[in-house]
Structure 1
Amino acid sequence: MNRQPIPEDLRRFVLTSVPSVPFLEALLLLRANPGQEWTGEMLAGRLYTSERTAQGLLDELCRAGMAAPCPGPQAQRYCYAPASEALRERVDNLAELYSRHLVDITNLIHSTLDRKAQQFADAFRLRKEH
């Protein structure tokens, strides 16, 4: 049985906008609970990671335009808030695809990380040789 490839628009989105699997998991968790206000502590508990790591993920999601600080007096609470309707639709499509092709999406994210690590190592090696 041939597997259907990841659509090109979602492939580009993952390669350019999803830096890690924990980032994607945090994004999808926020998306699945759109009315929920999240703290680093709450997200850490759901992702089985440290509070510091979870807070970093929330900060990254905000910088990427996928989450935002929640309105109100509560400090350090974040909500799912894509910066545009197009981004919301892309995340929705990715969530649906990820539910059916978790391994394919995960491998795509890891291939990006591996490539970046190799580029870094190559740059260091070139610098050291000169």
Structure 2
Amino acid sequence: MCTLPVHDLDAALGFYRDVLGFQVRQDGEPDELHRVSVGPPEQPEVRIFLSPPGADPGVSPADRRAIESLMAKGLLGRLVFATDDCDATFVRVEAAGAEVLQEPIDRSDGARDCAFLDPSGNIVRFTQRREGA
């Protein structure tokens, strides 16, 4: 499990559910701080909680502003997913309108990867291990 801060829960849900094909795992109760968990359909144990920045009631206004500042710089949220075909994943996610951060490249460690930004500026990377690596 992990928590990913998002500015707009509906936009984030659209990205993770509609673009990446994740399933919605859990939705918050209306009287709670609203957050949603999503995860890949083939990995039901994986839960990524999409939540407003500093949603925990114990977070001070100053800390909430600091979190929002880090988000604005793209320094807070990062997810890395394994894929069997980096290039096909890139084509599919780019065609859905996601903001490209890095086109597929081969790395010196034998991996091939690409990266996108979600609607809140979190980095979402897809990596494929190459044969013999």
Q: Name whichever structure is richer in strand by fraction.
A: 2
Higher relative contact order (Cα pairs below 8 Å, separated by 6+ residues): 1
> Highest CA radius of gyration, 1 or 2?
1
Q: Name whichever structure is richer in helix by fraction.
A: 1
TM-score, normalised via structure 1 length: 0.28
TM-score, normalised via structure 2 length: 0.27
